[in-house]
Amino acid sequence: MKKFRWIDLVLVPFGLCVLFLLLLGKLLGLTYKQISVVFNLWVQGAVLALSGLAPFGIVVYKMTESFSTGWLVLSFILALYGTAYVFAFIIMVQHYRLPFDDAFNRCVWDLQKVAQKWHTTYQMVNLIIFVVLFLLLLSLNIAGGYLLLRYPAMLW
C-alpha cells in the first residue's frame, strides 16, 4: 500500500483545472497546449493587467468630481502600480512567445524549475501561480477599486 502524502491532494484540483482547460479547448477548437497558453498566460495576464489599472482609473474619475492634492498623489501611486502590472504582462508575453508548443513547453519548464527550487511538485506550483496567486491579486485589485468607489471621503 502506498503511503499517503498531503501533497497528493493537489492532484485533485490540478486535475479539475486540466479538465476545465480540455473542455474549454474543445469548445473553442483548440488543443490543450493552445488553450493553456491562451487562457493561463494571455487571458489571466490581461485580466490582471486591467485589474491593476482599474484603481488608477477610479481615482482619475474621482479627481474629475473633486480635485485635491491627495487624489493627485494617489493617482500617481496607482499609475505606477497599474504600470507594473502592464509591464509584467508585456514581459510575460515576450517570454512565452509563439508558436504555442514553444510557449507551453517553456512555461512547463519554468514551473518545473520553480517546483525543484521550492522542493514541491509541478502541479503545486501550477496551482499556486495560476489559481491562488491569480485570485489573490485579482481580489486585491477589485477590493482596492471597491474601497475607492465606496469610501472615497475616508481616504482623502
pLDDT tens by residue, the chain, 156 residues? 667 666 667 778 898 999 999 999 999 999 999 999 999 999 999 999 999 999 999 999 888 888 888 888 989 999 999 999 999 999 999 999 999 999 999 999 999 999 999 999 999 999 999 999 999 999 999 999 999 888 776 655
What's the predicted TM-score (pTM) here? 0.86
105-114: long-range contacts (C-beta < 8 A, 24 or more apart)? Answer: 107/36, 107/37, 107/40, 107/41
* Position 50, amino acid: L
Q: Is 121 in contact with 10 (CB distance < 8 Å)?
A: yes
What distance in Å separates the CA atoms of residue 58 and residue 149, rounded to the nearest whole number?
Answer: 7
* Model pLDDT, residue 154: 61
* Model pLDDT, residue 65: 83
What distance in Å separates the CA atoms of residue 8 and residue 30, rounded to the nearest whole number?
Answer: 29
* Model pLDDT, residue 68: 82
Q: What are 47's three cell numbers?
A: 485580466
* Model pLDDT, residue 67: 82
How many CB atoms are located within 10 Å of the residue 37 CB?
23
What distance in Å separates the CA atoms of residue 79 and residue 52, rounded to the nearest whole number?
Answer: 9
* Model pLDDT, residue 155: 55
* Model pLDDT, residue 136: 98
